[in-house]
Amino acid sequence: MFYQRYFKTPEIDFKPGLLQISGRSITEDAIAFYQPVIKWIENYLKNPEPLTRINFNMEYINSGSNRFIFTIMRMFDEAYSHGNNIIINWYFEEDDDTIKNLGRDFQTLLKVPFKMVEIV
């Protein structure tokens, strides 16, 4: 599954074992945008690959989208707690304290391995 990124929505690329979400998420209708993504993840997690990596490389996330990004993370966190091998990578620019701190906040709320990756 692949969603083309527009100015207000992130690029989402799903391959078995790899989920990549990148760009900006400032959509006015986050429910309509993220609902198919959540459905795909629900179906994927019924029979996941032996290792699943989730890469977030976000430039900006508005508050409406933030809720859905965290919902996605919680879905994988729950799968991890049921024995699935999952890793979340959170990419941030070295001078972007907003995205960096958001990643740290998410990291403290989850048990899944969560790696902060600085882009220099």
Full residue range of the structural domain in which residue 11 is found: 2-119
| Residue 29, Cβ density class (10 Å: 0-12 exposed, 13-18 middle, ≥19 buried) | exposed
Instruction: Compute the chain's Rg from CA coordinates.
Output: 13
**CATH code, domain carrying 106:** 3.30.750
Instruction: Give the distance, in angstroms, between the CA of residue 11 and the centroid of all CA atoms in the same chain.
Output: 11
Instruction: Give residue 59's identity as a one-letter amino acid code.
Output: E
Domain count, the chain: 1
Dump pLDDT digits (tens) for 13-66.
999 999 999 999 998 889 999 999 999 999 999 999 999 999 999 999 999 999
On the question of pLDDT at 6 being above 60, the answer is no
Cα(31)–Cα(78) distance, integer angstroms: 21
Cα(2)–Cα(78) distance, integer angstroms: 24
Dump pLDDT digits (tens) for 79-95.
999 999 999 999 999 99
